[in-house]
Amino acid sequence: MYAMKYMNKQKCVERNEVRNVFKELQIMQGLEHPFLVNLWYSFQDEEDMFMVVDLLLGGDLRYHLQQNVRFQEGTVKLFICELVLALDYLQSRHIIHRDIKPDNILLDEHGHVHITDFNIATMLTKETQVTTIAGTKPYMAPEMFNSTKPIGYSFAVDWWSLGITAYELLRARRPYHIRSNTSTNEIAHVFKTATVMYPAAWSEEMVMLIKKLLETNPDKRFSQLKDIQDFPYLSDVNWNAVLQKRIMPEFIPTKGRLNCDPTFELEEMILESKPLHKKKKRLAKKEKDANKSNSSQVRASRSLFPRDPPIPHPAAPLTVRQPTHTIAFLNLQLGCFCFVLAETFLFYFL
């Protein structure tokens, strides 16, 4: 089964998000890795754009934190190993994700991690740095807020975000008191004055690893796979086994449950002005009205597109990695995760 992300085209235009959507599509179509949420194909109809991706039934790490899951050190250690392999892969493709956080790390049914949401990712050309500011403030690296010299940053910002995430998974709180509404000047002051506290129950090796990831100087920060592999705490890791998912996680999501907040999903279905489960009836009515007015041309309700299309020009279906299994619809609009496992359920609310 697969998941489908859909975005209303009119809303994308109104929110000035069209460029980001196609940038995300452009980046994702060139990626395939065991610890990413991989894109299989994309298409659009007259109302929405769709991306068919891996289906991850384990929920995101934010959900499990909200459920008061206390991740053990062994679990977080494996998460770090899997995530650094994904970051190393992105780095080899010159990609900075810029939004690594628990919300954007999904678990599969076996408990392995997968990075998702490339909406604000960017490509880094050789011998240059990125200067645009993007991300979620509590997870953004200090160099992104440095006002004393020209702003510029590189791949190391993702590794800082990994350090913040690892700390939060272990302690259920972040190391710095920074919120989304904290001003840039306040954040810069926090990094200069705050002291990160590490619980005595953590192993000395884990503390040292997180300190290396949370080094405020990006030149000294762990930001390459070799840094991690050479670190004594991880020297005994079988990296081939990690990559092949042969190391079983200690935390496995509960099977037979949604692993997301059903109240939020139901509210999304009720409040959505043009919900997907009513599309069939909506498009049928539109086609009927068009026929009544003797329209010379009626657009097809579902036209498949290449992986990097301009919106107005439909093209032939993709043949690359095209799935042959049942597609499970995953409504990611406005950050909503809604798993619908059969078409009959989609139209249950008609």
What amino acid positions are annotated as catalytic residues? 99
Q: How far is CA 143 from CA 131, 164, 187, in A?
A: 10, 15, 11
CA distance 127 to 76: 33
State both tokens at 202. Answer: 């953590």
Residues 115, 116, 122, CA angle at the centre, nearest 5°?
95
Looking at residue 254, what DSSP letter applies?
P
- Report yes or no: 286 and 295 within 8 Å, Cβ to Cβ: no
CB contact burial 305-319 (16+ within 10 A = b; e otherwise) = bbbebeeeebeeebe
Return phi, psi of residue 270, to 5°: -75, -40
Alpha-carbon dihedral angle through residues 124, 128, 131, 134, given to the nearest 10 degrees: 20
Q: Strands, DSSP E only, in the chain? A: 2-8, 39-44, 48-54, 95-96, 105-107, 113-115, 122-123, 303-304, 329-330, 339-340
Provide the β-strand partners of residue 327. 2
CA distance 313 to 176: 47
